[in-house]
Amino acid sequence: EAGVTQSPTHLIKTRGQQATLRCSPISGHTSVYWYQQALGLGLQFLLWYDEGEERNRGNFPPRFSGRQFPNYSSELNVNALELEDSALYLCASSLGTGGHNEQFFGPGTRLTVL
């Protein structure tokens, strides 16, 4: 069974540009989560999608947005990139929306903003 996949692996952008990160969940998983992990820091929750709907959002500005497609894959968009947006962006998926479901993480996208 394939795990969570993310693309691209690395992304280099300049300040002010826009970045699009993609995630494909494990087959059968309907929930997708996005996290930001800055160097040496923990996981900061960004967004949670389930069945195409945004269920919860972390404390990030509106220039961080995303969506979930009918096939449950997801996209994270970051507009007007700032230097501090440089981080590892992790996507995770889980079965349904139950609060007790474990999350399976993808390998992440390393975003570098110059």
- What does the binding site for another protein look like in residue numbers (CB under 8 A)? 33, 35, 41-45, 48, 55-56, 58, 90, 92, 97, 99-100, 102-108
Q: Which two tokens stand for residue 62?
A: 């509106």
To the nearest whole angstrom, how small is the minimum distance from the Cβ of residue 34 to another protein? 11
Beta-carbon count within 10 A of 61 CB: 10
Q: Which residues pair with 65 in a beta bridge?
A: 77
Which CB sits closer to another protein, 70 or 100?
Answer: 100
- Give buried/exposed letters for 16-29 (b at 16+ CB in 10 A, else e): eeebebbbbbbeeb
Which CB sits closer to another protein, 48 or 72?
Answer: 48
Contacts of 56 (CB under 8 A, 6+ apart): 45, 47, 48
Q: Which of 93, 84, 99 is nearest to 36 (CA)?
A: 84
Which CB sits closer to another protein, 43 or 79?
Answer: 43
To the nearest whole angstrom, how small is the minimum distance from the Cβ of residue 1 to another protein? 15
To the nearest whole angstrom, how small is the minimum distance from the Cβ of residue 107 to another protein? 6
Which CB sits closer to another protein, 53 or 82?
Answer: 53
To the nearest whole angstrom, how small is the minimum distance from the Cβ of residue 43 to another protein? 4
